[in-house]
A and B are shown apart, each in its own frame.
Chain A
Amino acid sequence: MRKYRFWMICVLAVSLFGVACGGGEEAAAPERAAAPEPAPAPAAGSGGITGVITYANGDADTAISMDADPVCVGLNAEGAETQTITGAEGKLANVFVYIKSGLSGSFPVSAEAAVLDQQGCMYAPHVSGVQVGQTVVIRNSDPTLHNVHALPTVNAEFNKGQPFQNMEFEHTFDKSEVMVRFKCDVHPWMSSYMGVVEHPFFAVSADDGSYAIDGVPAGTYTVEAWHETLGTQTMEVTVGDSAVAAASFDFAPAG
């Protein structure tokens, strides 16, 4: 009897299922964008972007008083000055230039470690760039206490003391952020800026204001130039196959 009833139900169910399906609306599969075509692994391009950063007002750096720490005074017999507005006549160094947008796909992380040194109670380099996930080696070359206090807004804050000469530690940033400021709380004049980006297409302008970004795949990009006090500027740049595009920036004096 039980078995018989079960089969009755099944038969009824199957017949009603037809009715229900016929009567009701087919549960339409929701429309969503199909899985994107697998993007080909981006090949390192053969193009490049170069340019010169100009700045009319010239070097405006001021001398730093390191009296607070006699060790620092000893290390800088000739005196030291800020590295904010620096460069050859009419040129601007320490400008971080990078592709801000327009790239697609991901790029392998450079295996080479970036180095942030503390030398003569100054950070070297003052402005630099790394890739997300790239190792940064932070070294203290001075025989005095430094603390490396990174003040990111997107990445995690850290603040490590390096009391001994030649101490070093490694750090990697896991999110892109332009720029991460570093400071030393023991020597308040010390600061450094590091641009953390997803790709390897960035450069820092040299003393003669020039910079060069190589290996750029062909395409149209927004390039941004960042300076610690003069702000940022952007430019649209089209890079052809094996061609070098020019992107020069002129920074007007602040204010």
Chain B
Amino acid sequence: MAAPKKTPDRHYDFTAMNKWFAWSSLALLLITIWMVVEDYAKPWKRLQAEFRELERQKLVEEAEAERQRINQEEIATIEEEIRSEEARLDEQEAELKELQDRLADLDDKVYEADVDARTTKSHLDTERYQYDAALQTGDPKKIDSALATLERRRETYGEDRITLEAYLEERDMVRAEIERKMAGLKEDEDRLDELRGGLESLENRVAGLDKSIDYFVLNAPLMDMLEPQLRIDQVQLPGLYQNINFTSVDRVDRCVTCHVAAARAGFDGEGWEEPFRSHPRLDLFLSSSSPHPYNRFGCTTCHGGLDRATNFARAGHSPINEEQKAEWKHDWGWQKQKYLDTPILPAQYTEAGCIGCHAGNVWTASSELQDTGRELMSRMGCFACHKIDYPAFTDVPRPGPSLERVASKTSPEWAYQWIEAPRDFHPTTWMPHFFFLENIVGELNEERQRAEIKAMVAYIWDRSEVIDYSDPPRGDESRGEDLFNTIGCTGCHLNDAEASRDDLFPQINRMHGPNLVRTGSKVDAGWLFAWLKDPKAFNPETRMPSLRLTDQEAADLVAYLMASRDPAFENLTQPEVDGQVRDDLAVVYLQNTQTIEQSKATLAAMSDRERDVYLGGQTIRKYGCFGCHNLRGFEDAKPIGVELTEEGSKPVHQFDFGHIHDIPHTRHDWIKTKMLQPRIWDHGKESVKDYNELYRMPDFGMSEREAEAVTTNVLGFVKESVVTARRADQRPESNALAEGRKLITRYNCQGCHLIEDQGQAIKTAITDPGMWPPNLAAQGARVQGDWLFEYLHDPASESMRPWLSVRMPTFGFDDHQVNMLLSYFAARENRQAFLSEPERPDRRSLTVGKGVFAMLQCAKCHPAGPVAPGAVSAAELAPSLLLAQDRLRHDWVADWIKDPLSWVSGTKMPVFFSRQDDGSYSSPLAQGIDLPMWSTEKDRMLRYFDSEEELKEYLADADNVTAALRDHIWWGLEGGS
């Protein structure tokens, strides 16, 4: 091997070094080029360029449409007019020229005269001073001479002024003359400008998006310092945190870098696809006038995802299903982001994003799925086993009926059947199935469940108080049916064997109380009679109100409800259970506190019944029945489920997917699957786990939609990531709103009433709109606190529309609850709950009010007494105004009369005063007063006015008229005028 050739003074090979140098330079160059390309060819740049082109096309189309819209004929006509006008002016050219010359001449003259007058004025001022100075010297000669000069100058000044004014006047005349001659032309030109203006602005915008040479230079690689048009668009959001590597930092959202049109209107029609669509409901989101402007809330605050990402995969997009996942992988290089705890919420769960800020409000206006889900969770009683630390789910009474007296009401055999499979008896019930679910396999386990159910029934009956009820009076079934359908039972109850929760979704108010089908196979008639008459006597905590039924009415309803029976649920028996199986179950519990020997001895000392009762108590503890039902012996027991307050932030790897692999391992898929198949995660583990270790979560029989609604909520239960000040509705009255809404949900007020535009479920049972319970919009502005206080305590005390068959029930609220409702209604309208006494108006206002009341024929609909006038069907009538003074708020009446539709949509109260563009209201009464039929009223009113004109002026003002009407209703109807 030859030694490397080296020059004598170097220790290395020069040629080899040159080669190394050449190759590495080339490599460096290539890497540099690669770097620049990589930096330049970002996908978002391509998207922005694409959007620019689409927007340009859209504008071109709009310009074209505008061109179409502009009536070419009209333009041609105007241009023709302009031409003829110009021709006419040409003909009069000489005349016009002369006028214009005269104008120029006059301009000069005015200028000269003005200068003259000003000069004279300054002389005058000097001479006045000199005269004053002369007066001071006291020298008569000087005084006389100065005065004479001053007088002359005054005269000159007067003349100058006269000259100037004459010229000015003449110039105005000439100008007017020229304008008059040119007016036709100018008007035509203005019309042309107006027609073409929209088009011109569109054309300018198109030009702005044309790809000119600057576009290519500004957006070329390495030109970023020149402010390129294609650039990352971001917004900083102080107080809205993103957790990055265990540190909370303010969000910096870059989503609109690709979702270019999100905050802009007009990109939502056909042909606009993500990422180029406008956000839906810009009135609510992103636009600067909406409650959630883009520069204050950004995107990821609600949607989740990695705020800073400008790459599809890294942003954390979540596909709605497997199909979309495959599509995204192909089109956008989607990848699961293992290390991103809060990926973007999949589209179907977007409303989960509302909860982070809105949980304190209890209701979130306009998020339907989330609102429905929250109601479902209240009804199903999720919070009874799982602590959920949000206002809607705290300090809420148990959702199920009390079982402390259940033995007075039904039989243990029925109870056994019910616990085993509640939906077999009531397909719509909220009570879930605990037994015979998919993780229970094998004969032994089935026998264990029978033993558990039987034991629970034994325990409940052992602890239940028994009241013996005598048979109810005889009732009439068909009268009972009538009552059931008209007095309001249907706001909360169904009586329908075919009903399904999914069919009624999302309207769940009518499932507030149990479906009453098969009542005859369930309860004791004597109990039912006593219950209907006074529910609170049986269970002081019940939500069932009293409808103030007479004995006969209650008996009729009992006859009707008891007639609904099903032989399949009668003459039931409880199964025989293997005593050994039961004892084995009981021993397991005894061994928690005793040795094996002790437990055997304890069991041996128990009678058969005692063993049942003991196991029943333990089983109730195991399944947590006391979460929903009042049960003696469990008054202070703690709920058994895991806390859900931050479930939406729980890392995905902490969810137990068991051996299940065909369900995507995401948070939302786990939760939704759990809702639909609560025991699924035990699959393959049935033989590994002890019987008592198997999952106990019951099956609520949720439909797909119900599961999605509930999942939306659970996903939204996230760790706090928003500073308090940035959360929704931080007003002092927010608490009143939240507490009121909780009560409204608890007592199902929306089963009958429309509140915040939701509810009135009874509409599906009572079809005549005139018979519907009222819309409570504006209630806080409408009625007096004192009146509402009395009314809510005792609705029988007053009746606005006595002809209604539906009754406002007596809920038996305590003062605290009533005051919470009062504060709620007042807070809705930003009013104080109580009001000071109004002052009595003067006679003029009362007289006008009385006249106007007659002229507008208010009494046609508002009866003056408790009975309907004439033969108008009762359903058409309005509330009696005799109640106004006690019931209505004085500061509301006139506002209501002025514009009823703005307060309550759909109201029958007509608008008499039209709203004008400037916000004022016109009044028709100044014209109406001249009709011969109202001459008596006119004469009466005239006594308080100096002239007819004055009266008419007064009547033409809607403010006067509505105030007078209010005064008449308030003071004039006393004693029934």
Tell me if B856 and A27 are in contact (CB < 8 A).
no
User: Please, could you name 7 A-B residue pairs with CB atoms under 8 Å apart, sorted by A?
Assistant: A13-B223, A27-B46, A35-B61, A36-B61, A70-B870, A149-B908, A159-B907
Contacts of A235 in B (CB 8 A): none
In the bound complex, do residue A29 and residue B908 qualify as a contact, i.e. CB atoms below 8 Å apart?
A: no
Chain A residues closer than 8 Å to B869, beta-carbon distance:
68
A144–B876 CA distance with the chains assembled, in angstroms? 17
Measured in the bound complex, the distance between the Cα atoms of B800 and A210 in whole Å is: 49
Query: Does A16 make an interface contact (CB < 8 A)?
Result: yes
A163: interface (CB < 8 Å):
yes
Contact A32:B271 (CB < 8 A) given known A163-B855, A186-B861: yes
- Contacting residue for A145 out of B50, B271, B860, CB 8 A: B860
Tell whether A167 is near chain B: CB-to-CB under 8 Å. yes
> When chains A and B are docked, how far (Å) is the Cα of A68 from the Cα of B271?
57
Q: Is residue A23 contacting chain B, with contact meaning CB distance below 8 A?
A: yes
Interface digits, B39-62 against A, CB 8 Å rule (1 contact, 0 not)? Answer: 011000010011001100100110
Q: Which residues of B contact A (CB under 8 A)?
A: 33, 36-37, 40-41, 46, 49-50, 53-54, 57, 60-61, 64, 67-68, 220-223, 271, 855-857, 860-861, 869-873, 875-876, 900-901, 905-912, 914, 924, 927-928, 931, 933
Q: How far apart sit A141 and B744, CA to CA, in the bound complex (Å)?
A: 47
Query: Chain A residues near B64 (CB, 8 Å)?
Result: 35, 38
Whether, in the assembled complex, A33 has its beta carbon less than 8 Å from a beta carbon of chain B, the answer is yes
Q: How far is the CB of A170 from chain B (nearest CB, A)?
A: 11
Contacts of B220 in A (CB 8 A): 13-14, 17
Q: Judging by beta carbons under 8 Å apart, are B857 and A30 in contact?
A: no
Q: Which residues of A contact B61 (CB under 8 A)?
A: 35-36
List chain A residues, Cβ under 8 A from B928: 163-164, 167
Shortest CB distance A111–B (Å): 14
Bound: A233/B835 CA distance, A: 58
Q: Which of A68, A163, A164 contacts B871 (CB 8 A)?
A: A68
- Chain B residues closer than 8 Å to A35, beta-carbon distance: 57, 60-61, 64
Q: Are B221 and A147 in contact (CB under 8 A)?
A: no
**What is the chain A residue whose CB lies nearest that of B934?**
A164
Question: Could you tell me the distance between the alpha carbons of A188 and B220 in the complex, rounded to whole angstroms?
Answer: 73
- The interface bits of chain A over 8-41 (1 if a CB of B lies within 8 angstroms of the residue's CB, else 0) are 0100111011011001100101101101101100
Question: What 18 new A-B contacts, CB under 8 Å, besides A27-B46, A29-B50, A186-B861?
Answer: A14-B220, A20-B36, A23-B37, A36-B61, A38-B68, A144-B857, A157-B905, A159-B910, A160-B911, A163-B857, A163-B924, A164-B927, A167-B928, A169-B914, A186-B876, A188-B872, A188-B873, A188-B875
A185 within 8 A of B: yes
- For the complex, is A155 an interface residue (Cβ under 8 Å from B)? no
Chain B hits for A186, CB < 8 A: 857, 860-861, 872, 876
Partner of A161, one of B41, B271, B910: B910
Give which listed residue, A20, A29, A143, contacts B933 with CB less than 8 A: A143
Measured CB to CB, the nearest residue on chain A to B36 is A16
Provide the bound-state CA to CA distance between A159 and B878, in Å.
15
Q: Is A112's CB within 8 Å of the partner chain B? A: no
Per DSSP, chain A at the interface is loop
Contacts of B914 in A (CB 8 A): 160, 169
| Cβ 8 A contact of A20, one of B37, B861, B876 | B37
CB nearest neighbor in B for A187: B872
**Chain B residues within an 8 Å CB radius of A17:** 220-221
Q: How far is the CB of A90 from chain B (nearest CB, A)?
A: 33
Q: Which residues of A contact B857 (CB under 8 A)?
A: 144-145, 163, 186
Interface flag for A78 (CB, 8 Å): no
Chain A residue contacts of B871, Cβ below 8 A: 65, 67-68
Contact status B221-A13, CB under 8 Å = yes
Q: Which residue of A lies closest to B216 (CB)?
A: A17
Do the beta carbons of A68 and B870 come within 8 Å of each other? yes
Q: Does A81 contact B (CB under 8 A)?
A: no
* CB pair A159 B872 closer than 8 Å: no
Residues of A contacting B911 in the complex (Cβ-Cβ under 8 angstroms): 158-161
Shortest Cβ gap from A61 to chain B (Å): 19
Most-contacted residue by chain B among A16, A29, A36, A164 (CB, 10 A):
A164
A172 at the A/B interface (Cβ < 8 Å)?
Answer: no
A165 at the interface (CB under 8 A from B): yes
B931–A185 CB distance below 8 A: no
CA distance A35 to B271 in the complex (A): 13
Ranked 10 nearest A-B pairs via Cβ: A161-B910, A147-B910, A145-B857, A68-B872, A185-B908, A67-B871, A68-B870, A164-B928, A161-B912, A13-B222
A236 on interface, CB distance cutoff 8 Å:
no
B862 to nearest A CB, angstroms? 11
Question: A241: CB under 8 A from chain B?
Answer: no
Q: Which of A20, A29, A145 contacts B40 (CB 8 A)?
A: A20
Write the residues of chain A forming the contact surface with B, with a CB cutoff of 8 angstroms: 9, 12-14, 16-17, 19-20, 23-24, 27, 29-30, 32-33, 35-36, 38-39, 65, 67-70, 143-145, 147-149, 157-161, 163-165, 167, 169, 185-186, 188
A184 to chain B, nearest CB (A): 9
Contact assessment for A32 and B54 in the assembled complex, using a CB-CB cutoff below 8 Å:
yes
In contact, B41 and A185 (Cβ under 8 angstroms): no
A164 CA to B906 CA, complexed, in Å: 23
Query: Closest CB-CB distance, A67 to chain B, in whole Å?
Result: 4
Expressed in whole angstroms, the minimum distance between the Cβ of A4 and any Cβ of chain B is 16
Which residues on B sit within 8 Å (CB–CB) of A23? 37
B33 adjacent to A16 (CB under 8 Å): yes
Cα A29 to Cα B914 with chains together (Å): 53
Per the bound structure, the CA–CA distance linking A159 and B933 in Å amounts to 25
- Contact between chains at A20 and B41 (CB < 8 Å): yes
Which residue on B lies nearest to A14, using beta carbons?
A: B220
A27-B909 CB under 8 A given contacts A9-B222, A159-B901, A167-B924: no
Q: CA separation between A145 and B857, bound complex, in Å?
A: 6
Residue of B nearest to A144 (CB): B857
For the complex, give the distance between the alpha carbons of A82 and B144 in Å: 102
A157 & B37 in contact (Cβ 8 Å cutoff): no
Residues of A with C-beta under 8 A to B875 = 188
Chain A neighbourhood of B68, CB < 8 A = 38-39
Q: How far is the CB of B900 from chain A (nearest CB, A)?
A: 8
* Chain B residues in 8 Å Cβ range of A13: 220-223
Q: How many angstroms between the C-alpha atoms of A165 and B41 in the bound complex?
A: 75
Residues of A within 8 A of B907 (CB): 159
Closest chain A residue to B219 by CB distance? A17
Chain B residue at minimum C-beta to C-beta distance from A148: B910
Task: Tell me the complex Cα distance, A27–B53, Å.
Answer: 10
Q: Which of A69, A145, A165, A188 contacts B931 (CB 8 A)?
A: A165
Distance in angstroms between the alpha carbons of A27 and B216 in the assembled complex:
13
The answer to whether A29 and B861 touch across the interface, beta carbons within 8 angstroms, is no
Contact B37 A24 (CB under 8 A): yes
Closest beta carbon of chain B to A139's beta carbon, Å: 13
A157 touches B57 (CB 8 A): no
CB pair B221 A20 closer than 8 Å? yes
Known contacts A17-B221, A38-B67; A33/B872 CB under 8 A: no
- The minimal Cβ–Cβ distance linking B860 to chain A, given in whole angstroms, is 5
Distance between Cα atoms of A16 and B222 in the complex (Å)? 9
Give the residues in chain B near A169, CB-CB below 8 Å. Answer: 914
CB distance from A153 to the nearest CB of B (A): 12
Cα-based distance from A65 to B872 in the complex (angstroms): 10
State whether A30 and B54 are in contact (beta carbons under 8 Å apart), knowing that A67-B870, A145-B856, A158-B911 are contacts in the complex: yes
Tell me the complex Cα distance, A12–B35, Å: 13
Q: Whole-angstrom distance from the CB of A162 to the nearest CB of chain B?
A: 8
The interface residues of chain A lying within 8 Å CB-to-CB of B223 are 13
CB atoms of A164 and B931 under 8 A apart: yes
What is the minimal beta-carbon distance from A8 to any residue of chain B, in angstroms?
11
For B855, list chain A residues within 8 Å (CB): 163-164
Contacting pair A19 B60 (CB below 8 A): no
**Alpha-carbon separation in the docked complex, A70 to B869 (Å):** 11
Whose C-beta in chain B lies nearest to the C-beta of A30? Answer: B50
Closest to B869 in A: A68
Residues of B within 8 A of A144 (CB): 857
Nearest-neighbor residue (CB-CB) of B900 within chain A: A159
Residues of A contacting B54 with CB < 8 Å? Answer: 30, 32
Question: How many angstroms from the CA of A67 to the CA of B873 in the assembled complex?
Answer: 11
A227, B924: Cα distance in complex, Å: 36
